[in-house]
């Protein structure tokens, strides 16, 4: 337990490294997904462009949204944004910081997908094979091909088995050309993204360092406060449940004693822990009735004050006393049959 607490504390204190870990995993997952994906170019004139650009652009969008979904802090951001002002002011710089850091992390997996796709070359080859410059690479003056025919022939470039335009333009020449363009675009994209990231990271300390430190502190604070509140509520719920159930069993054993017409038996001081834990229920039929009562008629969510008789004990809240006699009557009725 200690081990888990220490790991949890480490992750909590170093929350950024946890989020970095998730974002690295998503980047690897996106590269793996691409290599597992079975790319199948349709080799038809208009479908090629739609398919190629779709595979290039739709999965990154999905990965971007997934990056937001998997980030626990999204609900925190939404809550902080929508909460009423109350007695605590709202700082837009904190909201901006939270959103920016989430968006930056969510961008990594899509960028990896787009880079890997461009560097691999299949998508661009599929999408733009009908726009290959036939005049420079092949013999455009080859007779017998109208515009539409030529497009149809060129569209089959990615599918080597059915390509029949070898006289028009050699398949390998066209594929090499398209792949070269694709790889150039890929490396250019990677360079652009890296330069942007570098600029964003290095210009920030020069301009807004004080605001940045403030926003970072308060965004961590909001996160820690929310977690602590959840922990406190969980502890409270545990105690509430414990007391509620204890009162339920005590109520059962009091009813039992009333039904059998003798006073509730006080366990002698040296009876031992085990007998105390039985809570006055010591035979099968009693246990069965306790279980049935728990199922049919759960106690109200209202803890009674233990030192007072129940008729006086309300803490002044809205629960009317009329509810409580009902379970008793049920139990008494059961026992009178026996």
Partner 1 sequence: MDRFRMIFQYFQSNSESVMNGICGLLALASVKIYSCFDFSCPCLPWYNMAYGLGIMFIPPVTFFFCGLILNRQSLVMLEEWSRPQGSRKKDPAVIRYMCSSITQRAMVAPIVWIIVTLLDGKCLICAFSGSVDPEKFVGFANASSVQVQQLLAKVPCKDDELMRNNTSRKAVSRYLRCWSQALGWSILLILIVAAFLARWLRPCFNQVTLLQARHWSNYIDIEQKIFEETCCEHSRQFAHKCILHFFESMRQEIKLHSFRLPREGEGAEREEDALRGITNQDQVNKLLKMWYYEKPPLNVSQVTHR
Residues that bind partner 1 (CB under 8 A): 2-3, 6, 10, 13, 79, 83-84, 86-88, 119-121, 137, 170, 172-173, 176-177, 179-180, 183-184, 187-188, 190-191, 194-195, 197-198, 201-202, 205-206, 209, 217, 220-221, 224-225, 228-229, 232-233, 235-236, 238-240, 242-243, 300-303, 305-308, 315-319
d(CA 158, CA 161): 9
The answer to whether 189 and 120 are in contact (CB under 8 A) is no
Q: Smallest gap, in angstroms, from Cβ of residue 66 to partner 1?
A: 23
Q: 254 or 286: whose CB is closer to partner 1?
A: 254
* Helix (H/G/I), strand (E/B), else coil: 142: coil
SS3 label, residue 283? coil
DSSP-derived 3-state class of residue 271? coil
**Smaller CB separation from partner 1, 183 or 258:** 183
- Considering the complex, what minimum distance in angstroms separates the CB of residue 285 from partner 1? 30
Closer CB to partner 1, residue 100 or residue 308? Answer: 308
Min separation Cβ 72 and partner 1, Å? 17
User: How is residue 257 written in tokens?
Assistant: 């004693």
How many other CB atoms sit within 10 Å of the CB of residue 77? 20
Between 140 and 243, CB nearer to partner 1 = 243
Residue of 281, 326, 287, 318 lying closest to 301 (CA atoms): 318
- What is the closest distance, in whole angstroms, from the C-beta atom of residue 195 to partner 1 in the complex? 6
For residues 82-107, b (16+ Cβ closer than 10 Å) or e, as one string?
eeeeeeeeebeebbebbeebbeebbb
Our CB check for partner 1 shows the closer of 73 and 289 to be 73
Q: How far is the CB of 187 from partner 1 (least distance, A)?
A: 5
Give CA separation, 2 vs 5, 17, 91, 229, in Å. Answer: 5, 21, 37, 21
| Shortest reach from residue 137's CB to partner 1, in Å | 8
Identify which of residues 50 and 243 has a Cβ nearer to partner 1 in the complex: 243
């Amino acid at each position: 337990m200690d081990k888990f607490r220490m790991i949890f504390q480490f992750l909590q204190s170093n929350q950024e490294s946890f989020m970095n870990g998730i974002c690295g995993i998503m980047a690897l997952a996106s590269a793996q997904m691409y290599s597992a994906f079975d790319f199948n170019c349709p080799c038809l004139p208009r479908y090629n462009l739609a398919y190629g650009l779709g595979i290039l652009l739709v999965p990154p969008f999905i990965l971007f949204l997934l990056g937001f979904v998997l980030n626990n802090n999204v609900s925190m951001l939404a809550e902080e944004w929508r909460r009423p002002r109350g007695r605590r002011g709202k700082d837009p710089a904190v909201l901006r910081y939270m959103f920016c850091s989430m968006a930056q992390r969510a961008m990594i997996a899509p960028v990896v997908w787009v880079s890997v796709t461009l560097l691999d070359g299949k998508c661009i080859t599929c999408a733009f094979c009908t726009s290959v410059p036939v005049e420079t690479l092949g013999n455009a003056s080859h007779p017998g091909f109208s515009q539409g025919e030529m497009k149809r022939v060129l569209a089959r470039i990615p599918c080597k088995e059915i390509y029949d335009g070898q006289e028009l333009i050699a398949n390998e020449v066209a594929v090499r050309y398209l792949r070269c363009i694709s790889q150039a675009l890929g490396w250019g994209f990677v360079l652009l993204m890296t330069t942007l990231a570098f600029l964003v990271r290095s210009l920030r300390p020069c301009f807004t360092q004080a605001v940045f430190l403030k926003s970072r502190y308060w965004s961590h604070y909001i996160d820690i406060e929310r977690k602590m509140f959840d922990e406190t509520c969980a502890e409270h719920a545990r105690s509430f449940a414990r007391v509620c159930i204890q009162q339920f069993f005590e109520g059962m054993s009091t009813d039992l004693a009333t039904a059998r017409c003798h006073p509730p038996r006080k366990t002698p001081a040296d009876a031992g822990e085990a007998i105390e834990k039985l809570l006055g229920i010591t035979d099968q039929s009693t246990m069965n009735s306790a279980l049935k009562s728990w199922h049919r008629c759960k106690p109200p969510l209202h803890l009674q004050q233990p030192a007072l008789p129940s008729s006086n004990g309300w803490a002044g809240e809205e629960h009317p006393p009329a509810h409580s006699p009902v379970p008793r009557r049920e139990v008494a009725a059961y026992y009178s049959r026996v």
